[in-house]
Each structure stands twice: as C-alpha cells, then as structure tokens.
Amino acid sequence: MPATTADRAQPDTTTYLICAAAWLIPGAGHLWLGRRQKGIVFLVALTFMFLFGLWLEGALFPFQLAEPLVALGALADLGMGLPYIIARATGAGAGQVVAITYEYGNTFVIVAGLLNMLVVLDAFDIAKGRK
C-alpha cells in the first residue's frame, strides 16, 4: 500500500470533518485520506446502487416515530448523504407501492445507505491511524 495521508493519525477535528465529508459524498473520506482507488469505487458503486433503487420505484421513507420500522428505514436512507438530500429535494423516491419492483427498490436504497455508513466508519478508522 503506498504512503497516504492516512498513515499518521489525524487530529480530532479533521477526523470528524473527514467523516462528515464521507457521509455527504460516498467515498469522499477515502479520497481525502489519499485512498483514491477505494474512494472512486465507493463513489461509483454506492451512487449507482442508490439511483438504481430509485429507478426501481423504491421509496425514501419519512421519519415516523410512531412506526419504528419506517423510522429505521428513513435512518438507513439518510446514510447516503447528499444523493439522499438531492433526491428528497427533487421529489424523487416517492415510491410506487403498486410497482412490482417497489420492495426491491427499497432494498437497494436502504442497503446503499447502510453500506455508506460502513464506509464512513472505515474512513474514521483510517483517519485515526488504526488501518
């Protein structure tokens, strides 16, 4: 592995900024830390997975605390960061319950968000010098 910014532990403030960037734009944390190949793979794969889920008529769940499973789905969706915010702002992700691919779309969107959370944790470990 070539020497990167991540080979030494980052200060706490920088670490949290890296995590925020990694959440906002999938792969941005790794790109910041000099792990260019990983960052590009995360950016492309997670963004396409999220968009593919929306194309399959998947929904972006609302935060309804009265329905815990829906709230958990919303939390997972939020894991995608900026793509989620843009989709929400543009009205994408309304979801077509009657579409045959609705549940598949939900699965793609939710898992993309959860995977991005794992990517954020990985960026945190790298920034702390643990990896």
Partner 1 sequence: MTSHFGLMVVFALFVSIVFATLMRDEPREQLKFAGRLFLGFVGAGVLIGWLLYPLPL
Site residues (vs partner 1, CB under 8 A): 1, 37-38, 41-42, 45-46, 48-49, 52, 56, 100-101, 104, 107-108, 111-112, 115, 118-119, 122
Give least dist CB 76 to partner 1, A.
14
Could you tell me the smallest distance in angstroms from the CB atom of residue 66 to partner 1? Answer: 30
Contact between 17 and 123 under an 8 Å Cβ cutoff? The reply is no
The burial of 17, by beta-carbon neighbours within 10 Å (0-12 exposed, 13-18 middle, 19 or more buried), is given as middle
Contact 55, 106 (CB under 8 A): no
Assess contact for 26 and 47: CB atoms under 8 A: yes
Give residue for tokens 């794969």.
Answer: 45
Of 50 and 61, nearer to partner 1 (C-beta) is 50
Provide the CA 40 distance to its chain's centre, in angstroms. Answer: 13
> Shortest distance, CB of residue 122 to partner 1, whole angstroms?
6
Kindly calculate the radius of gyration of the chain based on its CA atoms and give it in whole angstroms: 16
Min dist. Cβ of residue 65 to partner 1 (A): 29
Nearest residue (CB) to partner 1, 71 versus 104: 104
Calpha distance 18→20 (Å, rounded): 5
Q: Which is nearer to partner 1, 14 or 107 (CB)?
A: 107
- Compare residues 65 and 100 and give the one whose CB is closer to partner 1: 100
